[in-house]
Each structure stands twice: as C-alpha cells, then as structure tokens.
Chains A and B, each alone.
Chain A
C-alpha cells in the first residue's frame, strides 16, 4: 500500500515539477546573461493559451507546440528589445509583458476557445515533456561548462564591460539568451496545458514566480535549481496527497502548503539559507 502511495507522490512531484524546471531554466538563461526576467509567468501563460488555440484549430499537436514556442520567443524578444534597444527598466518591461499576457490570453481564450471543443484537440503525451525537462537540465549544465557559447554567457552576465574588453558582444549574447528563454518557457506552457487538457484563465497560477524563486534558491545553477524545483513540486504534490490528513497532530490547511514555496524563498532572500549569489552583472547595461 505504502509503495503505491510513494509511487503516486513521486509521479505527482515530477508532473508538477517539470514545468517549474523548464521555466526556471528559462529564467536562468536570461539572468545569467544579465537580464532580469520576471516575465516567466506571462510567457508560459501565453504559450499555454496559444497551444490550446492552435491545437484546436489545426488538430496537430506538433504545430500547436511550435506555435506556443513561437509566441513565447516573440514575447521574450519584446523583453530584449525593450530592455536593450529602448533601455526600459528590466522590471517594468517584465511586469508590462505579464500584464499583456494575462490580458491577451484572457481575451483570446474567451473569444476563440470553447471548453467542450478543447476536449477534441490532441495534446502531446506529458511524458515527452518530462524528458524535455531532463534533457534541458543536462544540456544547459553541459553548455555552461563545456562550450564557448556558455562561457560567453557567463562572462557577459558577470561583467559586461570586461567582456567587451575581451572582444565579446553582450547585447548579441542577451538576445540569443532570451530566445532560449522563450523556447524553454514555451515548452513549459505547453506542458501545463497538455497536462490539464484544457485552458483556463491564469492557469499558470504563479508558477512563473515560483520558478524564479527556485532559481534564486538554486543559486542560478542548473542542477541545484532542478533540485529546488523538485522540492517545490514535492510540496505541491504533498498538498494534493495529504490534504485533510493530520501533520504533527494538527490540521494543516491546504493554503499552508501553497504558501510554503514562497515562504522558503523569502527566507533564502533574507540570507538565512546561505548567501544568495546572483550573477554579478544582473541589470547592468
């Protein structure tokens, strides 16, 4: 009996953790290049909505996925243009993109999607996305350590001025990095909607911010971030599985589990979980 429960818990953890992993890695690429990115939430949401709509219209899950990725990449390119070419403050740009996305998906989903229709559209198997998450972690870890591009990314994010002295082009690197962010968030958004089978307004439900939190706790490195995401996934899974049961003799409300990832991040930021090591050049022109 117990092994089945643990098995279910693990499965839920992975399912809930996978979109976090992908989004957090998206945040990693962006912030490692020096661009603060609080628009993960909106970008994922936009992808979810696009996948749902295009999936319905085209009845082809691969086209839907591609469309979702394309939309995410566009949003991240907007972030890049606003912050690099227009020199808008990175936080403002991020919040504006989130607003655009929440509004836009709300509008489009009501106008173009009908709940019953969605049941007819095909989605890719969720397992595919799990594999994508694992591959992404492995690839990113390898990329940062073992390739020229990865080294340039790290250099630009740590010190854009010295990087220029060494012949690098920080702006170009940032555009490429944000494209990667778009790709990863696009896949994350697709996973979220594929997992649930339909699109509801604001269905990302703050996971973009939890992904950011995981990134901070993971010290902006791929493997620790993966661990943080899995821990957060476990927390969310526990909420589902242990709802209503007693913990240490008290009734733990579901909201406690929901709030836990955020509380943990807050504690980390206060420096109580060890020093938080952001890329030194985060936010520098």
Chain B
C-alpha cells in the first residue's frame, strides 16, 4: 500500500508537464527559467539574503500550522492570526521603546494570535464545526479589521498610504549577520530554535504525546484518558500564538511597521511547509527553505518575463504530489 504505483508516477509526470507548459506560455524556455530561478534565489549573497528573509516567517508560520496538524486540525487561518500578531507587535513596539518593546510586542502578538484562533478552536472542540471554514472566515475578518485600523485609528498621518508609524531603530530584532549585501535576522534563529523545541516537546513530554494521540486517533486517545476536547482547543490556540509570533517577526525584523495588505499569502505557504515537513518538526526547516527558494526565485524570475504566479503553481503541485504519497485518507478498517 505504501509503494509507488503507476498512478503516482503518472501524477508526477503530469505535474512536471503542467509546470513546463505554464512556463512555455510566457515565452521563456523552461531551462532558462529554471536557471534563473536558482540563480535568483541562491546565486550570490544578495539572493541568499532575500531567500533567508522569505524563509524566516515561513519557519514560524509552518511551525504553527504543523502543531495544529499534529492535533488533527487544519489551521488555514495562519494568515489572519499572523496579521493580528503583526499589528499588535507594531502597536506595542511603538508605545514601548527599545528591547522591552520588542519582547512585549512579541508576547502581545502571540496573545493576539491565540485569541484569534480561539473561536475556531472552540467551535471545533465543542460544536464540531469544521475548523477550515471558521479559520478562513476569521482570515477575512482579520484582513478587513486591520485594513480599517491602519487606515483609521492607527494611521501615520504623515504618510501617503495607510501605514503605522515606522518603528525607531532600537525597536527591532537585531540581525544575526549583517555584512551587506548579506543579512540574516535573529528571527530565523528563533524559528529554528522553536522547531527544535517543538520536536523535543512532542517526543519528551506527556502533553506532546497526548496531542499526537489526539490527532492520530481521537477515539483511542479518549479511551486512553486524554481530554480530547481540551487538547483540540489548546492546540488551536497554540497554533494561533505561533502564527502571531511569525507576524511579529515580520514587523520587528523586516518591515518595522504595519501596512494594509500586509500578508502576501504566508498562510497558504505555511500550510505547504507544514505538509511537506513529512511529519517531523525538523522537516519544517528544509521545507521552509524550499518554499523560500521558490518564492524568491520566482520573484527574480519576473525580470525574465515569467510572472510570479509560477510560485503558486509550484506550491500546488508540490502539495498534490507529496500528499498523494503521504497524506492518504486512512480507510476505515485498514489492517
């Protein structure tokens, strides 16, 4: 059952064909496109800087979706939770200067993310309402809410477009390495540390064990004494908190302010990262790297005439191929 059959091979070939065709419609030769993508993402310090910058929030956001997935939940709402975290971090760091602001901003962002995930978690645990729909709804509400806030109450009136005030230099996450044109933020380090911590937590704590049980077989978990409802709710909130933290990182490390239409679909990518991690938290790092390469590579590719949409195509195809091998719906009564 786990072996690759002809239909998987057909799927992979089909996927490959789609990508090649898509590139060809733009008039660029696929081989050239591949080369440009690799060069644009890894071909020099500036490229690496961009790739690592893309990777940083993806690690944390991927972690967020991963922990929900472990508990059996599809957190499509990482976008909304991330955005709520971002705006909270921006506001808090504005009011409290220096390192204190950074730390408090991050914590506040986690709280905001957790609160934003709470309704979806509660509805799933206690009402049985599917979390996919509720998290998507919350995404949209978060988008509108933050758009309004940044155009209204939180707006920096000195700027043309709606944005909060720029954070002072002392209120940001420092860079790990800063030798232009290459830069990498400490946020990336925090992300990797987070991944390692989660891996440790899942393997070594009873709570981690019970969370994994809840996602793997809720009935067996309940029979084994796990409080499945409570675990579901807590997992969702933890997921939201981590997504919120990812949002805080974007503000504190890179953007230094919050503006409308902030999140360029990190939530989607985070889902892909979590799915491609292959079931172990440590896989999140290479998966985030892969998606970052695609993201920065396709950005660079735009210059040669291939629009950014290619990244979406690659994302979708990667998920499909990977899922067909790994995430098959378990049939009832499999032995």
Asked if A and B touch directly (CB within 8 angstroms), the answer is: yes
Q: Which residues of chain A come closer than 8 Å to B148, judged between CB atoms?
A: 253, 255-256
Give the complex CA separation of A116 and B324 in angstroms: 42
Give the complex CA separation of A98 and B324 in angstroms: 17
B312 and A100 contacting across the interface, CB-CB below 8 Å: yes
B141 close to A (CB within 8 Å): yes
Give the complex CA separation of A104 and B307 in angstroms: 9
A128 close to B (CB within 8 Å): no
> How does the 8 Å CB contact mask read for A259-271 relative to B, with 1 for contact and 0 for none?
1001101100111
Beyond A209-B140, A271-B127, whether A92 also contacts B275 by CB under 8 A is: yes
Beyond A253-B152, A263-B141, whether A95 also contacts B76 by CB under 8 A is: yes
B180 close to A (CB within 8 Å): no
B127 and A269 contacting across the interface, CB-CB below 8 Å: yes
Give the complex CA separation of A86 and B12 in angstroms: 13
Of A82, A97, A276, which contacts B324 at CB under 8 A?
A: A82
A114 close to B (CB within 8 Å): no
Give the complex CA separation of A111 and B27 in angstroms: 8
Residues of A contacting B: mostly: helix
B196 close to A (CB within 8 Å): no
Give the complex CA separation of A262 and B317 in angstroms: 29
A82 and B311 contacting across the interface, CB-CB below 8 Å: no
Within 8 A of A (CB), among B34-54: none
Beyond A85-B7, A276-B129, A285-B331, whether A269 also contacts B134 by CB under 8 A is: yes
A92 and B268 contacting across the interface, CB-CB below 8 Å: no
A258 and B331 contacting across the interface, CB-CB below 8 Å: no
> How does the 8 Å CB contact mask read for A172-210 relative to B, with 1 for contact and 0 for none?
000000000000000000000000000001000010010
A88 and B320 contacting across the interface, CB-CB below 8 Å: yes
Beyond A99-B268, A253-B152, A269-B127, whether A86 also contacts B324 by CB under 8 A is: yes
B313 close to A (CB within 8 Å): yes
A103 and B315 contacting across the interface, CB-CB below 8 Å: yes
> How does the 8 Å CB contact mask read for B13-33 relative to A, with 1 for contact and 0 for none?
000000000100111000000
CB of A43, distance to nearest CB on chain B (Å) = 13
Q: Which residues of chain B come closer than 8 Å to A285, judged between CB atoms?
A: 329, 331-332
Give the complex CA separation of A265 and B137 in angstroms: 7
Extra A-B contacts (15), CB below 8 Å, given A96-B319, A106-B309, A285-B332: A83-B329, A88-B329, A95-B268, A101-B312, A104-B309, A107-B307, A109-B307, A110-B309, A209-B136, A213-B133, A256-B144, A263-B137, A265-B133, A269-B133, A285-B329
Instruction: List 26 A–B pairs whose Cβ atoms lie within 8 Å, in order of A's numbering.
Output: A36-B132, A82-B320, A82-B324, A91-B74, A95-B76, A95-B268, A95-B319, A96-B319, A103-B314, A107-B306, A107-B309, A108-B22, A108-B25, A110-B26, A206-B140, A209-B133, A253-B151, A253-B152, A256-B144, A259-B141, A262-B138, A262-B141, A266-B123, A269-B137, A271-B129, A285-B331
A residues in contact (CB < 8 Å) with B: 36, 38, 82-83, 85-93, 95-112, 201, 206, 209, 212-213, 216, 253, 255-256, 258-259, 262-263, 265-266, 269-271, 276, 285
